[in-house]
């Protein structure tokens, strides 16, 4: 009984803290988004330049703190993973809940190729991307005819099947024992085995992912995807082949998750099926939803917050998933569009001449619908 009271007391405190921080942070994000979208080109370029330098200098600033550096690498890894899911969930609007499966395919492809066949990492990296993409295609063609909950269930099923295959096909994957001894990548004769090296490697992958996210979003295909997400019937009537675009987004998401998996296996030098369980898919999904479905800065922020949070919550680790749950419920009530919603930079804030209040309303209406 006493224990129960303590748990309830603690959860209430955490709930209150989360409530207040979401409220405060929301104000902060809205303010920043407004400022940024009003800023002129030079200010934007300067802000981008300064943050780029800060990120590049990061490993040198924290060279003596391996803990911070390793956490940063994990943050970047999850940014890549969350952005890869964002192709499917954010752009095409398809709820995929087995994203960790593609991550696993990438990790195991690299592990098996480099350990068993002694293939170089870079070749294995490419193979991971291709094979994860093939899995995405194989799964996408039959399942993307399904909608909403049905798609979610089939993707959960796929993720679980893959994990069980990894566990039970012991002759191939060594089962629950996992595959140890995955070598570090070599580049121009140098072996990348320091945290700094890994940091730049995953940074390159993250930058690449952000880059293609933006390029895709602002292209004909991106508009087609958003159209499918907003209203599939109308999209089809505008001549948009929704099945093709959904599969494209699915495959692209799978390819990038595969690349992330490949990096993961070489970074920790060891893979086992437990790394890719259902909770992993849920965590990636939570990052996207929390940050803002379809919003690239939002997803990056969501991934960063949710991969730092477990570290910050070390002292209250038992409450970790409870806090995730409360956080999600709170977000859905207070700020359903995510920390930085996809429309934050659109419509309302672009107009300086018209009354901002009216525009704000329209923005909310758009988000609510």
Contact (CB, 8 A) for 296 and 214? yes
Q: Is 369 an interacting residue with respect to other proteins (CB under 8 A)? A: yes
Alpha-carbon Rg of the chain, whole angstroms?
A: 21
Closest CA to 76 of 217, 204, 268: 204
C-alpha angle with apex 295: 292 to 301, nearest 5 degrees?
Answer: 65
| CB closer to other proteins, 171 vs 369 | 369
| CB closer to other proteins, 335 vs 342 | 342
Q: How far is the CB of 42 from other proteins (least distance, A)?
A: 21
Q: How far is the CB of 221 from other proteins (least distance, A)?
A: 5
Q: Rounded to whole angstroms, how far apart are CA atoms 34 and 36?
A: 5
Listed ranges 24-32, 273-281, 300-308, 346-354: which one lies at the site for other proteins (CB under 8 A): 346-354
Q: Is 147 an interacting residue with respect to other proteins (CB under 8 A)? A: no
Query: Binding residue for other proteins (CB under 8 A) from 9, 38, 147, 215?
Result: 215
Closest CA to 250 of 94, 146, 145: 94
Q: Is 221 an interacting residue with respect to other proteins (CB under 8 A)? A: yes
| CB closer to other proteins, 23 vs 350 | 350
User: Which residues, 241 to 270, sit near other proteins by CB under 8 A?
Assistant: 241-242, 248, 252
Dihedral, CA atoms, 337, 340, 342, 345, nearest 10 degrees?
A: 130
Query: Binding residue for other proteins (CB under 8 A) from 99, 229, 246, 335?
Result: 229
Tokens 């952000």, residue located: 210
Q: Rounded to whole angstroms, how far apart are CA atoms 37 and 32?
A: 8
| CB closer to other proteins, 12 vs 241 | 241
| CB closer to other proteins, 75 vs 227 | 227
Closest CA to 122 of 205, 53, 3: 205
Phi and psi of 277, rounded to 5°? Answer: -80, 180
**Positions that interact with other proteins (CB under 8 A):** 211-212, 215-216, 219-224, 226-227, 229-231, 233-242, 248, 252, 294, 342-343, 346-348, 350-351, 359, 361-363, 365-366, 369
């Amino acid at each position: 009984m006493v224990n129960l009271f303590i748990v309830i007391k603690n959860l209430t405190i955490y709930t209150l803290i989360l409530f207040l921080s979401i409220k405060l942070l929301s104000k902060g994000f809205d303010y920043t988004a407004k400022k940024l979208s009003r800023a002129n080109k030079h200010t934007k370029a300067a802000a981008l330049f300064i943050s780029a330098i800060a990120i590049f200098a990061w490993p040198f600033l924290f060279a003596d703190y391996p803990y911070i550096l390793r956490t940063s690498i994990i943050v970047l890894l999850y940014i890549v993973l969350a952005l890869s899911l964002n192709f499917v969930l954010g752009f095409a609007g398809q709820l995929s809940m087995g994203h960790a499966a593609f991550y696993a395919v990438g990790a195991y492809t690299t592990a098996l190729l480099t350990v068993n066949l002694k293939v170089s990492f870079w070749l294995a990296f490419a193979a991971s991307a291709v094979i994860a993409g093939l899995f995405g295609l194989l799964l996408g063609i039959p399942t993307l005819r399904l909608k909403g909950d049905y798609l979610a269930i089939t993707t959960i099923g796929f993720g679980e099947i893959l994990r069980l295959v990894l566990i039970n096909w012991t002759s191939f994957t060594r089962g629950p024992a996992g595959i140890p001894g995955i070598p570090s990548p070599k580049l121009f004769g140098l072996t990348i085995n320091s945290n700094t090296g890994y940091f730049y490697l995953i940074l390159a992958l993250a930058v690449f992912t952000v880059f293609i996210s933006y390029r895709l979003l602002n292209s004909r295909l991106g508009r087609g995807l958003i159209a499918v997400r907003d209203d599939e019937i109308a999209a089809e009537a505008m001549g948009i082949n929704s099945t093709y675009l959904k599969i494209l987004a699915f495959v692209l998401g799978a390819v990038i998750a595969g690349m992330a998996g490949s990096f993961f296996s070489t970074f920790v030098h060891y893979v086992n099926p437990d790394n890719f369980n259902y909770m992993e898919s849920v965590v990636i999904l939570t990052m996207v939803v929390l940050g803002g479905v379809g919003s690239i800065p939002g997803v990056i922020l969501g991934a960063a917050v949710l991969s730092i949070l477990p570290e910050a919550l070390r002292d209250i680790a038992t409450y970790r998933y409870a806090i995730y749950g409360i956080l999600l419920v709170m977000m859905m009530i207070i700020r359903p569009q995510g920390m930085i919603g996809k429309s934050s930079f659109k419509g309302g804030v672009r107009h300086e001449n018209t009354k901002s209040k009216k525009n704000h309303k329209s923005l909310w209406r758009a988000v609510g619908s």
